[in-house]
Structure 1
Amino acid sequence: MNIAHLQIFLAVVEYGNFSTAALNLDISQSAVSRAIASLEEELGVSLLSRGRFGARPTLIGDRVLHYARQIVQAREDIEHEINLEKGLHGGRVRIASFRSAATHLLPPKIARFSHRFPSVEVTLTEDDPTGVEQALREGQVDIGLVPLPRSEEFDTWEIARDEYVVLLPQSPEPLPKTLTWEELSTHSFILYNYAECTSAVRDHWLEWGQSLKVAYEIKEDSTIVSMVAQGLGAAILPRLAALPIPEGVQVRSLPVPLVRIIGAAVLTNVLFSPAVLTFLDVLKGTGMFAGKRDTPEVRQGLT
């Protein structure tokens, strides 16, 4: 069975007549007629009713239509996979990400991609979200991992949710899993000196009518965790930024949850290589990686 004949049959059904189908397929009307005649002769049935109204599927034509679509779709899927494979023998994917996502989210995804396409070079650079955005604008990288939302110059997809947690030094008395605002108000906090995280925490406190006592503002999240372990204050960090948690630091939930959404970002209206598009499939859990997406909730053993 000629798949091209099936494609022409589908086009005639879609457009309702031979002439419009020919125009959209960029072939002559006589070529359409010959293809339909050949297909009907091969199958031994009449697939289309012709008349002043145009062309409509017969009863058997309507039943064949379902299978014709499946065959044509299967052919397109095969061609897609072949073209994808041809385009992934080489090339590269350039990624930029803020540190905690680069450390905890990207390695398993890069490993999954590299196992499937070992000939593709994958590079990863770390920067703060503002630097990631600038690298995307300047064409230095193809994909960026950033907290969402971002400006409309980027297309973005959510890939994980990262809960903000309270880090506390050891205390003589065990703490409840979720703290009250009153309990939090007794602590002085070591804040992350990074605009987006700090603003999110301050805004959250204000939204719930609370005051936040700040003892320090520190640039490095690892320094913050170490200071908490030494009893210099409490901290509020996204879970990923808090890892690894040393002994002597307790992790508790906020009275009202606060979540950081982590997304993949690319510049809008840019044509990407098959390698870049496929790595986006890894991040989104789509295409050949459908059903293989990591859990979007980041809960990596912090209790």
Structure 2
Amino acid sequence: MNQYYAFIKAIETGSFTKAAEELGYTQSAVSQMIHTLEKDLSAILIIRSRTGITLTPDGAELLPFIRKICNSHRELLERRKEMEGLESGLIRIGAFSSVSSHWLPRLMKDFKEKHPAVHFELHQGDYTDISNWIKEGSVDFGFVNPYGINNLTTIKLQEDDMLAVLPLDHPLASLDKVPLQQLTNDPFILLKDGEISEALTIFNHYHFEPNIHYHVHDDYTIMSMIEQGLGISILPKLVLQRCPYQIVTKQINPPFVRTISLAYKDKRVLPIACRHFIDFILQRYRKQ
């Protein structure tokens, strides 16, 4: 196959010398490979001159076929790598805390039962962090709120109710549903999820202004602060599952949800193990 690649590279660079530099050969080796190819095909493919190289009519006619051979060979090598990758691949995921705590452990466990040699690398951050990690290639894919996300493919997985979170002795704790406007009176603990804040989105939508006293980046810290009576908050239902804190959660009136989506840049170029895990996630959560 080297003679085919040498021919293509010589045409792309317009020079045997440049082709040799890019392929890691000597100029004479490239010249010899192309001469061998011409001998095999019984045709002169290239004419050399002081200004560079040009294709002969036979070379121009055969060039598409030689490109096709090179592309098919590359695809064959990639497929072999992919088959090996599913047995020993690394899957890098960006996730926010509720997904990394309540979804991913079971997903990883079930996937590793089928593919025990696959390894996981989990990066935890806010929506903006995760979006940037995907774009720069630090992670293969991630979980995001698609609102405000651009230049990425997003696939909706679930909607997650946003709930009011109160201390046990709070006056609103006795209500079945808490009016949103009444959540503007107490000190509010705002969860900072990068450039997107679901709580602020809710308040802004209805033209209310919360009494923000704290900006916190961790859901569980907020729950602990509420338990101590430092304020109230609005958090997603998913993170409140198996809650270890003595707090009260209530539906909000009017209700509001966040969307949890899967995001990636280009699934076609992801490692095979990663693509299989994405499909595994979609099968799991699109059934619910």
Normalised by the shorter chain, which TM-score bucket? Answer: 0.5 to 0.7
Q: Which residue in the other structure is 1:293 paired with?
A: 285
Whether 1:263 aligns to 2:261 is yes
User: Is this contact kept in 2: 1:158–1:264, CA < 8 A?
Assistant: yes
- One-letter code of the match for 2:191? Y
Shift of residue 208, structure 1, vs aligned partner? 2.0
Q: Which residue in the other structure is 1:98 paired with?
A: 96
Shift of residue 270, structure 1, vs aligned partner? 4.5
Whether 1:204 aligns to 2:196 is no
Whether 1:158 aligns to 2:150 is no
User: Is this contact kept in 1: 2:128–2:196, CA < 8 A?
Assistant: no
Whether 1:180 aligns to 2:172 is no
Shift of residue 130, structure 1, vs aligned partner? 2.1
Q: Which residue in the other structure is 1:277 paired with?
A: 275
Shift of residue 88, structure 1, vs aligned partner? 2.1
State, as a whole percentage, how many aligned pairs show the same letter: 26
Q: What's the CA shift string for 1:209-245, capped at 9, x where partnerless?
A: 3332222222322221111111111111122344553
Shift of residue 206, structure 1, vs aligned partner? 3.0
The 5 A counterparts of 1:219-234 are 219-234=217-232
SS at match of 2:177: coil
Whether 1:192 aligns to 2:178 is no
Q: Which residue in the other structure is 1:136 paired with?
A: 134
Shift of residue 171, structure 1, vs aligned partner? 2.0
Structure with the largest fraction of helix: 2
4+ residue stretches of structure 1 with deviation over 6 A? 83-86
SS at match of 1:115: helix
User: Is this contact kept in 1: 2:224–2:245, CA < 8 A?
Assistant: no
Gaps of 5+ in 1: 1-82, 286-291, 297-303
User: Is this contact kept in 1: 2:145–2:258, CA < 8 A?
Assistant: yes
Cα separation, partners in 2 of 1:277 and 1:193, compared to 1, 3 Å: closer
Distance 1:280 1:241 in 2: 22
Q: Which residue in the other structure is 2:29 paired with?
A: none
Match of 2:121 among 120, 123, 126: 123
User: Is this contact kept in 2: 1:160–1:295, CA < 8 A?
Assistant: no
Q: How many residues align?
A: 207
Shift of residue 255, structure 1, vs aligned partner? 0.7
Distance 2:279 2:206 in 1: 38
Shift of residue 188, structure 1, vs aligned partner? 2.6
Cα separation, partners in 2 of 1:152 and 1:202, compared to 1, 3 Å: closer
User: Is this contact kept in 2: 1:158–1:261, CA < 8 A?
Assistant: yes
Distance 1:154 1:216 in 2: 31
Distance 1:134 1:196 in 2: 12
User: Is this contact kept in 1: 2:128–2:195, CA < 8 A?
Assistant: no
Distance 2:181 2:142 in 1: 39
Cα separation, partners in 2 of 1:185 and 1:90, compared to 1, 3 Å: closer
The 5 A counterparts of 1:55-66 are none
Shift of residue 196, structure 1, vs aligned partner? 4.2
Distance 1:140 1:206 in 2: 33
Distance 1:273 1:172 in 2: 50
User: Is this contact kept in 2: 1:169–1:249, CA < 8 A?
Assistant: yes
Q: Which residue in the other structure is 1:59 paired with?
A: none
User: Is this contact kept in 1: 2:128–2:193, CA < 8 A?
Assistant: no
Gaps of 5+ in 2: 1-80
Cα separation, partners in 2 of 1:123 and 1:213, compared to 1, 3 Å: same
Distance 1:144 1:104 in 2: 15
User: Is this contact kept in 2: 1:114–1:120, CA < 8 A?
Assistant: yes
Distance 1:202 1:172 in 2: 22
Cα separation, partners in 2 of 1:294 and 1:203, compared to 1, 3 Å: closer
Cα separation, partners in 2 of 1:255 and 1:246, compared to 1, 3 Å: same
Shift of residue 116, structure 1, vs aligned partner? 0.7
Q: Which residue in the other structure is 2:144 paired with?
A: 146
Q: Which residue in the other structure is 2:214 paired with?
A: 216
User: Is this contact kept in 1: 2:97–2:219, CA < 8 A?
Assistant: no
User: Is this contact kept in 1: 2:189–2:231, CA < 8 A?
Assistant: yes
